[in-house]
Structure 1
Amino acid sequence: MKFEDLPNELLLDLFEHFNLIYLLHAFNSLNSRFNKLVFIHFRHYRLNFQSISKYDFEYVCEHYFPLIVDRIISLYLSDNDETPHLPELFLSYGYTLDQFIYLQSLSLYSISSINILNQIIFQCRHLRQLTHLYIIKCYFHCEEKDNLFLMNNIWNISKLIYCNLDCFHPDNNVFIASTIISESIKYLIMKNIKCDLNNLSYLLQCTPHLRQLYTTISCQLQNEELRNIFSSIISLKLIYLGSIDSMKYLFQNLKNLSYLTLETSSIYLNGYEWEMFLIDILPQIKQFRFKMNFHIKHMNNQEEEVDILLNSFSTQFWLEIRQQYVRCDWISSAIIKDATLYTLPYAFEKFSYCDTTYSKSTCPNEIDFWSYGRVQTIKYVNNRLNLVKDFISFHAQFPNIYHLNLIFLFKNNISSVYPSLNQLTTLDISLNDQFDYSQLQDLLDRSTHLYSLCLSKLTNLHMELFQARSTSIRRLELIEKNGSDSRYFDDKECVALVNSSLGRQCEVLVICVQNQKTILDLTKNIINLRTLIIRCKNDKWNKTELSSNLDELVLWLHDHLPSTCLINRDMKHPCYVQIWIDCKQ
């Protein structure tokens, strides 16, 4: 049977699983039947512009949006290295969010301008179908009035139920509560925005039907209190930075709290003290999961101190009544005092450890609870030649890793440590002089869905790097933008990159180069490149002159690259220039 012989109902079901951009490109103007299917009968469009070329985005804005704007139910706009300044380009076409009358979900990623963000959210106030809002990894400087304007506009979205605010304000990352009351918001995530108990009181007052909350509480005063009793909160995920007394005041006023996931770094309670805390303060709690970061006091008797702590969690209350076990990880070192105690199974998305991490638990069978299925992001530091022997005490398996950060020096087979990497999408590796590139190839071979490869500490670059192969990688970062090391690639190394397997299929490249002519060569010769994030050694950029009219490198690039390229300084890292290339994929 031919594809076109399939019934319309089945085709419409299949369309639901296609990337919408590819769907529109493939079937638009193919024939009248497919035109009707795509633009009339296909009712729900989900547009994700997370990794789109400038050519495709502009084509969608010019040709497809007018036909489908009233049927888009999900929209994702980003302003990161993949699609720099996309939201501004979107608004320049004259579209406003209130035109998307059936929009149910809006995701705004890495927006670096509070004005752009406020403009978009202000347009959403009267969208009657909008129930889910995600503002993720947005980083900007702003005045308190701009922040309040943003909060009020969010709380003014009449049907909003789920809201994820992952914003970062470098000047002041403290939550400013809305003065508008939202009767609809029930689920709120703002883990990177700090609240004190006073802020939290205002938040709960203006969100009276809030059932689930994930946030960071930072109490500067010893006896801060939550001013009122709040009964709507049932589930709380909390990063807590404050005193034990303030924590008691907080939980005493959340009368219907049933599910608590707690991470602390500022308090230390043993098993007996946690037991009394739960009995006296949270008698109604059904599920209690915690991670307590602390410092070991007696460096000469680390394991003995851990044993005493674990014994306090080996009581009838923990083992029989709650049927709950804990594990303690610590670093065997004469200098580092860090240790972590957590309930099992491990309940958090991130996990960090090193080659000298040791572990003990209250489990009767030491082989239990070693699958860390919730962990999606791992950072591992290894400074020894032999990796495998360091895992005698730590047998964890991580079946669902999406992001892996490795800082290591070893020559053993890493597959015994990370046997499954099928879901890995991002791999960050810090290299060194003795790095074994065959290990890198082994990682790439087993990471079949790897999209992004980031390599840092490239001081002594080996040409073996350019022999690495992967069929899935589309993004290369050859510098750590947040790091202090800057490895500038010379002409020979850039030619090797262009001619390599990874270079030929690269779509997004982050790199430092010796001179600006190399930038032209990269944009011309990497045939699939759609975004180039560049730092140039001879760039005379002055941080006091952010205007593009005074920016010599940006002006030079405008003169030497096609006028269709979008060229701007990176607002978060101004020593880098973002070039969104107008290429047809």
Structure 2
Amino acid sequence: MTKLHGMRWMTEEQIDELMNSFRTSFWIDEHRWFVRCISNEDCVSFETVSNAFHYTDKKLPGVFRSTDSQDNIERLYTTIDRISDVTLFNQPISSKIYFPKLHSLSVKCPINDQYWSMISNLHDVSSLSLDFTTDFSQSKLQALLNRMPHLRTLTIHQKSLLPLPMSLFNCTFPSSIYCLDFENCEHYFNEKDCIRLTRSSLASHCERLDIPVKNLQSIIILVCNMNNLCALRASFPDEQTYENRPSRICNDDEDIQWLIEHLPSTCAISRDPSCFNDIRIWIK
């Protein structure tokens, strides 16, 4: 597929006018060259039609045009393997639209009924991002997880004013999950939260964990109770970081020294040089 042209913005009338210039016998009858236009809020792209079509943009197009009658927007949707727009399923979309080949999915909870009609196959989804705006029903979350037997990475988004959804700790998660990312969760895990996490199926096979924590003791709980954990990145509240920043810049970082004294010798511990409130731990 060859990209012919791209620009920042065009009206639909301008797009139609340009597309009509590709509908002549020179393009269609003599050379069998077909052109499609895909437009979203960022740019407009003109491409030659190919059987190897694969749509990779994060958002669905606002405008779709093609000089090939067999090339339509329904075909575009069947090539999408990644949806990162959490508001997608809140938009009015034709009932004919479905996404059969997804590998990565972002959804905002609670999920509306339109979701189930558009996504018929979640078997190959390996990466899931959940954005919690309310406490999501455990039964609905479990139904979603049951359709993802090959899930490898789970990312949680949560606002600080909201409590952690209990469904996270009570559901049975696929044993294939090896990476948990709470980096975009604005709730800082205290010791009680960490104990609850380590006792859940969510963490039972986790090898990599990114998580915001309240204190150093939370790190001890995670490292000592997650048997498969190999790499941990823990972040602390910003105000706690700035209060102790001088001691963290120097070689005798008190937090690092405390962790060295309280964690097994198989742990390699350091502070992330690009972010003072992050501590990284590798477990051999």
When normalised by structure 2's length, the TM-score is 0.78
The answer for unaligned runs of 5 or more in structure 2 is: none
Q: Secondary structure at the match of 2:58?
A: strand
Cα 1:462/1:366, change in 2 over 3 Å = same
Asked which structure has the greater RCO (Cα within 8 Å, sep 6+), the reply is: 2
Aligned residues: 277
Aligned residue number for residue 380 of structure 1: 85
Aligned residue number for residue 404 of structure 1: 105
Tell me the percent identity. 27
2:67 matched to 1:353? no
Aligned residue number for residue 524 of structure 1: 224
Aligned residue number for residue 566 of structure 1: 268
Aligned residue number for residue 433 of structure 1: 134
Aligned residue number for residue 193 of structure 2: 493
- 8 Å CA contact 2:135, 2:166 repeated in 1: no
2:176 matched to 1:472? yes
Distance across 1 between alignment mates of 2:43 and 2:138: 32
- 8 Å CA contact 1:349, 1:377 repeated in 2: no
Q: Cα deviation per residue 1:56-78 (whole Å; 9 max; x = unaligned)?
A: xxxxxxxxxxxxxxxxxxxxxxx
- 8 Å CA contact 2:178, 2:207 repeated in 1: yes
- 8 Å CA contact 1:382, 1:408 repeated in 2: no
Task: Give runs of aligned pairs for residues 149-168 of structure 1, distance below 5 A.
Answer: none
Distance across 1 between alignment mates of 2:192 and 2:228: 20
- 8 Å CA contact 1:410, 1:436 repeated in 2: no
Cα 1:467/1:344, change in 2 over 3 Å = farther
2:49 matched to 1:344? yes
Shift of 1:372: 6.3
2:108 matched to 1:418? no
Shift of 1:447: 2.0
Cα 1:318/1:444, change in 2 over 3 Å = farther
Q: Secondary structure at the match of 1:579?
A: strand
Shift of 1:439: 5.2
Q: Secondary structure at the match of 1:353?
A: coil
2:14 matched to 1:289? no
Q: Cα deviation per residue 1:263-314 (whole Å; 9 max; x = unaligned)?
A: xxxxxxxxxxxxxxxxxxxxxxxxx52275534344xxx4x34332332332
Distance across 1 between alignment mates of 2:278 and 2:5: 38
| Equivalent residue letter for 2:19 | L
Aligned residue number for residue 69 of structure 2: 364
2:97 matched to 1:395? yes
Aligned residue number for residue 281 of structure 1: none
| Equivalent residue letter for 2:58 | S
- 8 Å CA contact 1:380, 1:406 repeated in 2: yes
Q: Name which one, 1 or 2, has greater alpha-carbon Rg.
A: 1
Distance across 1 between alignment mates of 2:135 and 2:42: 29
Q: Cα deviation per residue 1:462-507 (whole Å; 9 max; x = unaligned)?
A: 2122223223212111123xxxx63212233222212211122222
Shift of 1:581: 1.7
Q: Cα deviation per residue 1:425-453 (whole Å; 9 max; x = unaligned)?
A: 22223332376665543442222211110
Shift of 1:458: 4.0
Aligned residue number for residue 112 of structure 1: none
Q: Secondary structure at the match of 2:266?
A: coil
Distance across 2 between alignment mates of 1:326 and 1:439: 42
The answer for unaligned runs of 5 or more in structure 1 is: 1-287
Cα 1:497/1:344, change in 2 over 3 Å = farther
Task: Give runs of aligned pairs for residues 83-98 of structure 1, distance below 5 A.
Answer: none
| Equivalent residue letter for 1:318 | W
Aligned residue number for residue 463 of structure 1: 166
RMSD: 3.5
Aligned residue number for residue 445 of structure 1: 146
Q: Secondary structure at the match of 1:520?
A: helix
Aligned residue number for residue 207 of structure 1: none
Aligned residue number for residue 23 of structure 2: 314
Shift of 1:413: 4.8
Task: Give runs of aligned pairs for residues 314-333 of structure 1, distance below 5 A.
Answer: 314-331=23-40
- 8 Å CA contact 1:425, 1:451 repeated in 2: yes
Aligned residue number for residue 507 of structure 1: 207
Distance across 1 between alignment mates of 2:20 and 2:221: 64
Aligned residue number for residue 266 of structure 1: none
Distance across 1 between alignment mates of 2:46 and 2:108: 23
Distance across 2 between alignment mates of 1:445 and 1:569: 37
Distance across 1 between alignment mates of 2:224 and 2:281: 13
Q: Secondary structure at the match of 1:390?
A: coil
Aligned residue number for residue 557 of structure 1: 259
